[in-house]
Amino acid sequence: MATRNRTAMYRKHRDAVKSVRAPLSSSASGSGGPVIEMASLLSSNRSSYTPLSTEDPGPSSGDAFTVGLPPAWVDDSEEVAANIQQARVKMAELVKAHAKALMPSFGDGKEDQHMIEALTLDITGILRRSEKRLQKLSASGSAEDSNIRKNVQRSLATDLQNLSMDLRRKQSTYLKRLQQQKEGSDGVDLEMNMSGNKSRLEDDEFNDISMNAYQMRKLKKSEQITEERDREIQQVVQSVNDLAQIMKDLSVLVIDQGTIVDRIDYNIQTVAVSVEEGFKQLQKAERTQKKGGMVKCATVLVIMCFIMLVLLMLKEIFLT
Amino acid sequence: MSLVTAVRDYINRMLQDISGMKVLILDSHTVSTISVAYSQSELLQKEVFLVELVDNISKSKESMSHLKAVFFLRPTSENIQRLRRQLASPRFGEYHLFFSNLLKDTQIHNLADSDEQEVVQQVQEFYADFVAIDPYHFTLNVPSNHLYMLPAVVDPPSLQNFCDRVVDGIAAVFLALKRRPIIRYQRTSDIAKRIAQETAKLMYQQESGLFDFRRTEVSPLLLVIDRRDDPLTPLLNQWTYQAMVHELIGIQDNKVDLRSTGKFPKDQQEVVLSSEQDAFFKANMYENFGDIGMNIKRLVDEFQQIAKSNQNIQTIEDMAKFVDNYPEYKKMQGNVSKHVTLVTEMSKIVEERKLMLVSQTEQELACNGGQVAAFEAVTNLLNNESISNIDRLRLVMLYALRYEKESPVQLMQLFNKLASRSAKYKPGLVQFLLKQAGVDKRTGDLYGNRDFLNIARNMARGLKGVENVYTQHQPLLFQTVESITKGRMRDVDYPYVGNHFQQGRPQEVVIFIVGGTTYEESRCVALQNASNSGIRFILGGSVVLNSKRFLKDLEEAQRMTRPSTTVL
């Protein structure tokens, strides 16, 4: 696709105009007179040149245009963006931790579990905090500002939602693989158990006591495993709930793609409409205020007072 | 490369090198250009947090210097003036100016003069000066489209503006595609000739450096034709999805406004019909009404199944899966209800206006012969109380276009009946149409009864019978496209501009219809492109017509040519 860059020509002309303007302003004594003359001189040279504005001669343009500070909510939004970035980094760590935990290891795997728990809690916490802060983005500022704020909210909300979904997906795959693994090992255990039982049943009876103890230990162990698995599932359920809540809240802010709300011209229209509506309301308010009964009442009262005064004076004059 | 991709590339390039929070400022034309190709959520991803119109931005006084402003405007004198006012008292930190077409040197000078604060960082020309509604269909949304029907003497400056806008649009399309074409035009149309010649002058003389692209083996072809060569297609009622929605309800920049047809819940009042974003629409936009009904029913059934399974959450996995799939579920729900609403509305309109009956006669008038039977059918429908005025008008026009020369007495009878039946009918409109697009003015063989080959083909078709009575009609464009594909376009009818000449078949063809395209024609082009004939066609027009729009143009043009006519 073809484009053409006109910046060079633009800059050249702008610099030329600037150099013309600068000596002009230095020679101007502050009155508009000589500046106008100079301007008209110049305009006669270039047919397409329009006269300089004579209101603001001189390089005081720097004062007129101060670099403003962004409004306060920008800090909030930047913080949320930083949080999202942090969450992303932690998610990468979580993925690594998941992978490590799933690998067969000699150790108990408890530290891995703890780390995974901690990371997951951490990330969920970050997401929840960011979401709360996003909701609270301050509502002050003008109409245009509020539009920008709304759009910033939307964009951050979309990012947050994507992160939450990502996190849950990773969690559910991890859980599934974990269950598979455990079932696998349990299956082996069960098998061993069954075959163990069979062989033991066929044994002598005075092995019963030791057999029972062995069975008791096996039972306890499987209980423990079940409890652990239960706990893990509870955790995942909890985080699924949390994330579901976040997503529900965010979905109010996020735009549905492909719908009318996602159209640029629709968004411009609604802004224009609401601004116009606001303007109309203001006008109406102004009119009703002008027509206001209060003003009429006050004027009537003042006139009455005046008349009464006059009457009083007349009475005095006639009596005396 | 599709036109939508070209516009998206332009927008991406505009935004990619500018970091930080941005404001995008558009004018009323570039809003359409961008809205059909880019979505609000994509803009947000690129950190564009505010989109405004340049007229509104001038009114506000608030300073937002932490934002960088990206302007994307047409280089008109009004926009330059507004920009100058902006630059004189800038509100934003940086100004990046992009124009959708060629800038004149004086305009650049004017802008540079006003830029005392030196806030402008770049001035570029990005040639997205057209509205790419479908990958191979564009429009220019020209405001006073009816001007093309008027002779040049009526309003020369307005006509010049019209031609300039069209030439700019066509030039932008070729700059976006990076091609310089051989140009041919329809001999019998003055405005087509004028536009073709002005485009050639721009591409080969005035800006020949800019258009000097790498030459391909066979140059692409630009064919400029006139709407009045095929007045039949915009008048017919349509039965394929996209064309039907436009005909019965109206599509503007891929948006359908349902508010005029009835009461709807807030989120269904305006809907988007875009083949890029809606997979169901993309698969069904060229299907006829019956098939669409079936496909929508299938879609609804699918959706109901998913909805039922969503209500059946028993295990944790189900719950997790539900939350996972919720966004897609919601999107699907919105999509299904959109299509169901549209089809329901259209069915209602078809019922009310008895369009099945009317359209049958229309298709007969368009495709088959038999003047006597046609006259009878039209008279019956004119007498039928439940036929609306606009449909009556269309029927008489279709009859008149075909049987203009045969039996003028009967034609007169029809005119009188029409005038007596339709209270709001402006007399002389049908005659005006005949004057503009009558058989003497047309080049192409609209009814397939000039060329022996066409007559034979028609007879064969009549004997074979048609699959669907309602979609028998093929627009004249189909024949044009065929003759280009076979390399058989006659130089007599479609001469070259200047001393261009083309050996062999072109690989890329842009057909521009002055006066407007229709969705039936864009369907024809899309199906041709899908058939892998080795040639890629792009269709464009000054507007996208339906019968209402075409009739409005006719009325406007008639009003302007005879201002002293009193309405009877």
User: Which residue of chain B comes nearest to A237, CA vs CA?
Assistant: B316
Rounded Cα distance, A54 and A35, in Å: 7
Cross-strand bridge partners of residue B225: B513
Helix B519-530 with B476-485: angle, nearest 10 deg: 30
Stronger pLDDT, A100 or A43, i.e. the higher one: A100
Stronger pLDDT, A151 or B254, i.e. the higher one: B254
Residue B556: is its pLDDT beyond 50? Answer: yes
Rounded Cα distance, B228 and B241, in Å: 25
Reading the block at residue B223, the tokens are: 């064919």
Average pLDDT over residues A267-276: 72
Residue B20: is its pLDDT beyond 50? Answer: yes
Residue A36: is its pLDDT beyond 50? Answer: no
Q: Give the best-scoring range by mean pLDDT among A130-139, A159-168, B63-72, B547-556.
A: B547-556
Question: What tens digit of pLDDT does each residue of A215-244 get?
Answer: 888 888 889 888 887 887 777 677 767 767
Least confident of B48-62, B238-252, B311-325: B311-325
**Residue B165: predicted pLDDT:** 96
Rounded Cα distance, B264 and A3, in Å: 44
**Residue B215: predicted pLDDT:** 82
| Average pLDDT score, chain B | 88
Question: What tens digit of pLDDT does each residue of B436-494 get?
Answer: 888 887 877 777 766 676 677 767 766 666 677 888 889 999 999 999 998 888 888 99
Residue A253: is its pLDDT beyond 70? Answer: no
Average pLDDT over residues B342-347: 93
User: Which residue of chain A comes nearest to B10, CA vs CA?
Assistant: A1
Virtual torsion, Cα B96, B101, B104, B107, nearest 10 deg: -40
**Residue A60: predicted pLDDT:** 37
Average pLDDT over residues B260-273: 83
**Residue B57: predicted pLDDT:** 72
Which residue out of A7, A10, A159 would a mutagenesis test of the B interface target, given it has the greatest number of B Cβ atoms within 10 Å? A10
Average pLDDT over residues B19-33: 93
pLDDT band at B10 (very low <50, low <70, confident <90, very high): very high
Asked if B534 has any chain A CB less than 8 Å from its own CB, the reply is: no
Q: Which of B516, B498, B483, B438 is nearest to B225 (CA)?
A: B516
User: Which residue of chain B comes nearest to A149, CA vs CA?
Assistant: B49
pLDDT band at A18 (very low <50, low <70, confident <90, very high): confident
**Residue B228: predicted pLDDT:** 93
Q: Calculate what percentage of chain B has a pLDDT beyond 90.
A: 55
For residue B511, give how far its alpha carbon lies from the nearest alpha carbon of chain A (Å).
20
Stronger pLDDT, B383 or A66, i.e. the higher one: B383
**Residue B320: predicted pLDDT:** 66
Stronger pLDDT, A205 or B127, i.e. the higher one: B127
Query: Which pTM value belongs to this model?
Result: 0.81
Question: What tens digit of pLDDT does each residue of B284-296 get?
Answer: 999 999 899 999 9
Stronger pLDDT, B238 or A181, i.e. the higher one: B238
Stronger pLDDT, A302 or A106, i.e. the higher one: A302
What's the ipTM? 0.82
Using DSSP bridges, classify how beta strands B137-139 and B131-134 pair: parallel, antiparallel or unpaired. Answer: antiparallel
**Residue A40: predicted pLDDT:** 41
Using DSSP bridges, classify how beta strands B508-514 and B120-126 pair: parallel, antiparallel or unpaired. Answer: unpaired
CB contact under 8 A, B31 and A262: no
CB contact under 8 A, B49 and A152: yes
Stronger pLDDT, B107 or A201, i.e. the higher one: B107
Average pLDDT over residues B137-166: 93
Three-class DSSP category at B39: coil
Task: Give the closest of A70, A142, A155 to B62, CB-based.
Answer: A142
Residue A102: is its pLDDT beyond 90? Answer: no
Asked if B209 has any chain A CB less than 8 Å from its own CB, the reply is: no
Burial class (CB in 10 A: 0-12, 13-18, 19+), B494: buried
pLDDT band at A33 (very low <50, low <70, confident <90, very high): very low
Task: Give the closest of A3, A65, A151 to B117, CB-based.
Answer: A65
Three-class DSSP category at B525: helix
Task: Give the closest of A1, A7, A244 to B123, CB-based.
Answer: A7
Task: Give the closest of B122, B210, B271 to A7, CB-based.
Answer: B122
Least confident of A28-32, A122-126, B76-80, B306-310: A28-32
**Residue B147: predicted pLDDT:** 94
Residue A88: is its pLDDT beyond 70? Answer: yes
Stronger pLDDT, A98 or B132, i.e. the higher one: B132
Residues of chain B with Cβ-Cβ distance to A148 below 8 Å are: 21, 23, 49-50, 64, 67
Instruction: Decide if A152 contacts B49 (C-beta within 8 A).
Output: yes
Give the number of other Cβ atoms within 10 Å of residue B536's Cβ.
18
**Residue A308: predicted pLDDT:** 96
Instruction: Decide if B324 contacts A166 (C-beta within 8 A).
Output: no
pLDDT band at B412 (very low <50, low <70, confident <90, very high): confident
CB contact under 8 A, A3 and B124: yes
| Average pLDDT score, chain A | 73
Rounded Cα distance, B76 and A253, in Å: 37
Q: Which residues, 6+ apart, have CB-to-CB distance to B428 below 8 Å? A: B558, B562, B565
**Residue A142: predicted pLDDT:** 63
Question: What tens digit of pLDDT does each residue of B457-470 get?
Answer: 767 766 666 677 88
Which residue out of A6, A11, A153 would a mutagenesis test of the B interface target, given it has the greatest number of B Cβ atoms within 10 Å? A6
Rounded Cα distance, B184 and B483, in Å: 14
For residue A274, give how far its alpha carbon lies from the nearest alpha carbon of chain B (Å).
13
